[in-house]
């Protein structure tokens, strides 16, 4: 390696050094400390005491934690597939040159940059059982009011609808960027061969957007596993723990009950869940790439 290359490498390392320092201080160090806490009964007030894997064994026997785990998986199942399909179809519909199309895209993106707290409060008022606009409309057409956030069987579905609506604009924007990279020559060749719109969509657009779909699915999955704001504001985990998620569970134990060691153990279980699901999704994506 020449002296010039060494000097260039040295300057390159110096430029990226602040990023590595920030990552180490604000990401790696907290991760390591959280793991150490998960092996203790640390409660913020008393002295740190090492207890090994006791917190993890306790988690596996906690019915509320198991319930929060199944709720989180159920929430992901509700939001991720529906969010992907709706955002993809919306992007396809808006990927054209029309007067006012940019305004429509902007309106769809506004919920993304709106505070989750504000969105949750507004939707909570819409969902209100006695005076909410949705139930007022149902009464007007002769139907019974629905306990959108008070019925354990539909409360999670109600929260999932709000999440899908809020994140639709973000996923749509990602898909719109992906659609710009699909060569027009493919569509022109398909038109010459007599392919219709649906055939072009299924055999050209969908396969060409596979990397985009993988990114959207992965980010949506991780986001769904970390859901806290909407659940905390709209239902507080109720009714009867029907909407409590792992993120809310560990928040309660860490910052309400001050069982920080136990909360850190729950956080690591959530991390392992996200890690395993991401590996499975990556494996499925690789197999689809090889098949295509």
pLDDT of residue 67: 95
The answer to whether the bond into 268 is cis (omega within 30° of 0) is: no
pLDDT score, position 232: 92
Cα angle 227-229-231, degrees, rounded to a multiple of 5: 75
Q: Which residue has the higher pLDDT, 136 or 195?
A: 136
| 264-278 pLDDT tens trace | 999 999 888 888 888
Average pLDDT score over the chain: 89
State the pLDDT at residue 171: 94
Which pLDDT does position 292 carry in this prediction?
A: 56
Residue with tokens 């040295």: 10
Q: Is 40 helix (H, G, I), strand (E, B) or coil?
A: strand
**Alpha helix stretches (DSSP H) within the chain:** 3-23, 29-38, 54-60, 63-94, 101-113, 116-127, 133-140, 155-180, 184-192, 197-200, 206-208, 210-225, 229-234, 246-251, 260-291
Percentage above 70 pLDDT, the chain: 98
Res. 9 pLDDT band, cuts 50 70 90: confident
Confidence at residue 291, expressed as pLDDT on a 0 to 100 scale: 57
User: Which fold does the domain 62-291 belong to in CATH?
Assistant: MetI-like fold (1.10.3720)
pLDDT higher than threshold 80 for residue 289: no
Q: What's 121-187 look like in SS3?
A: HHHHHHHCCCCCHHHHHHHHCCCCCCCCCCCCCCHHHHHHHHHHHHHHHHHHHHHHHHHHCCCHHHH
pLDDT of 187 above 60: yes
Q: What percent of the chain has pLDDT over 90?
A: 52
In DSSP terms, 40 is beta-bridged to: 50
Query: 181 pLDDT band (50/70/90 cuts)?
Result: confident
**In this model, does residue 130 exceed pLDDT 60?**
yes
**pLDDT > 60? residue 127:** yes
Cα–Cα distance measured from residue 48 to residue 42, given in angstroms and rounded to the nearest whole number: 5
The pLDDT assigned to 283 comes to 79
Average confidence (pLDDT) over 187-196: 84
Of 13 and 123, the structure prediction assigns the larger pLDDT to 123
- The pLDDT tens digits of the residues spanning 134-171 come to 999 999 998 899 999 999 999 999 999 999 999 999 99
Given a cut of 70, whether residue 290 has pLDDT beyond it is no
Please, which residues have CB within 8 angstroms of residue 162's CB and are 6 or more apart in sequence? 119, 120, 123, 230, 234
- Provide the whole-model pTM: 0.88
CB contact at 8 A, 87 and 171: yes
Q: Is the pLDDT of residue 3 over 80?
A: no
Judged against a pLDDT cut of 90, whether residue 64 lies above it is answered with yes
Has residue 92 got a pLDDT over 70? yes
Q: Are 109 and 170 in contact (CB under 8 A)?
A: yes
Q: Provide the pLDDT for residue 162.
A: 96
């Amino acid at each position: 390696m020449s002296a010039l290359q060494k000097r260039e490498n040295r300057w390159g390392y110096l430029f990226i050094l602040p990023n590595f320092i920030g990552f180490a201080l604000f990401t790696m160090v907290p991760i390591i400390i959280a793991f150490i806490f998960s092996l203790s009964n640390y409660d913020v007030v008393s002295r740190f005491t090492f207890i090994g894997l006791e917190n993890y064994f306790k988690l596996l026997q906690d019915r509320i934690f198991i319930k929060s785990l199944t709720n989180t998986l159920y929430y992901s199942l509700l939001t991720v597939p529906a969010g992907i399909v709706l955002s993809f179809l919306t992007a396809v519909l808006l990927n054209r040159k029309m007067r006012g199309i940019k305004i429509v895209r902007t309106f769809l993106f506004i919920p993304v940059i709106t505070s989750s707290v504000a969105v949750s409060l507004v939707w909570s008022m819409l969902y209100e059982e006695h005076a909410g606009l949705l139930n007022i409309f149902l009464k007007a057409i002769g139907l019974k009011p629905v306990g959108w956030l008070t019925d354990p069987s539909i409360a999670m579905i109600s929260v999932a609808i709000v999440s899908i609506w809020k994140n639709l604009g973000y996923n749509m924007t990602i898909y719109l960027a992906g659609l710009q990279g699909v060569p027009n020559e493919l569509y022109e060749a398909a038109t010459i061969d007599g392919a219709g719109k649906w055939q072009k969509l299924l055999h050209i657009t969908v396969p060409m957007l596979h990397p985009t779909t993988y990114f959207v699915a992965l980010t949506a999955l991780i986001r769904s596993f970390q859901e806290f704001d909407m659940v905390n504001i709209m239902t507080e985990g109720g009714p009867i723990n029907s909407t409590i998620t792992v993120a809310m569970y560990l928040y309660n134990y860490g910052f309400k009950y001050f069982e920080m060691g136990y909360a850190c153990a729950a956080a690591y279980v959530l991390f392992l869940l996200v890690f395993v699901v991401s590996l499975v999704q990556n494996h499925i994506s690789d197999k689809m790439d090889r098949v295509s």
